[in-house]
């Protein structure tokens, strides 16, 4: 059996002051998070997690603080909490309905310091399979989330060669 991984790094240190406590809490569950001065470095050796387990008390406190912010994740999490049992100590959140890319874009929109955030992901596999390797780069601004896969780059190169040979 082959295991597929997508190690991911966000090279920019995200200023903690640019994130709501809710965004920091969730991103720290979706990624590994290392403090770096007044910011946080996010990374994951196997890929960001869509299914996370969060302490209900921490989540509720972070939601209360985020009420006045312009954050799409706040509304999403509030809806998810309505579906869970109120007496659970931990809340399992399926974040696949609101991607971490959208959370990062909200951070850029509010930030006085960040004009963009970049993300680099490698696609790897425990076996040497043709479909198990490659990568992706994301460029996140307040206006757009742009992505390029290595397969897209290679397709562009092949189209260029085809144009050279045909014309």
Q: C-alpha 23: how far from its chain's center? A: 11
Does the pLDDT at position 167 exceed 60?
no
Upper half-sphere CA count for residue 129 (Cβ side, 13 Å): 12
Q: Is the Cα dihedral 13, 65, 138, 5 positive or negative?
A: positive
Q: How far apart are alpha carbons 44 and 95 in whole angstroms? A: 16
pLDDT digits (tens, 9 = 90+) for 150-164: 999 999 999 999 888
Angle 84-88-91 from CA coordinates, rounded to 5°: 60
| SS3 of the chain: helix, strand, coil, percent, to 5 | 40, 30, 30
Count of C-beta atoms within a 10 Å radius of residue 95? 22
- In sequence order, what E strands does 61-100 have? 90-94
- Give the residue from 106, 117, 113 showing the smallest Cα distance to 140: 117
70: confidence class by pLDDT, cuts 50, 70, 90: confident
- Give the residue from 146, 119, 117 showing the smallest Cα distance to 135: 119
85: confidence class by pLDDT, cuts 50, 70, 90: low
Does the pLDDT at position 84 exceed 80?
no
Does the pLDDT at position 74 exceed 60?
yes
Output the pTM of the full model.
0.88
> For 37, left (φ over 0), alpha (ψ -120 to 50), or beta?
left
pLDDT, the chain, mean: 91
| Tokens coding 38 | 């007044």
Q: What is the DSSP letter of 131?
A: G
pLDDT digits (tens, 9 = 90+) for 17-48: 999 999 999 999 999 999 999 999 999 999 99
């Amino acid at each position: 059996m082959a295991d597929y991984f997508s190690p991911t790094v966000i090279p920019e240190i995200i200023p903690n002051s640019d994130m709501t406590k809710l965004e920091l809490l969730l991103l720290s569950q979706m990624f590994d998070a290392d403090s770096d001065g007044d910011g946080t470095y996010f990374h994951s050796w196997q890929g960001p997690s869509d299914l996370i387990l969060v302490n209900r008390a921490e989540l509720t406190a972070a939601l209360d603080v985020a009420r006045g912010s312009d954050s799409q994740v706040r509304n999403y999490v509030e809806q998810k909490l309505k579906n869970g049992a109120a007496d659970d100590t931990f809340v399992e959140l399926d974040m696949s309905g609101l991607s971490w890319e959208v959370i990062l874009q909200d951070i850029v929109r509010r930030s006085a310091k960040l004009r963009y955030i970049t993300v680099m992901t490698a696609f790897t596999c425990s076996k040497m399979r043709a479909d198990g390797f490659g990568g992706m780069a994301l460029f996140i601004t307040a206006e757009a989330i742009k992505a390029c896969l290595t397969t897209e780059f290679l397709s562009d190169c092949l189209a260029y060669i085809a144009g050279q040979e045909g014309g």
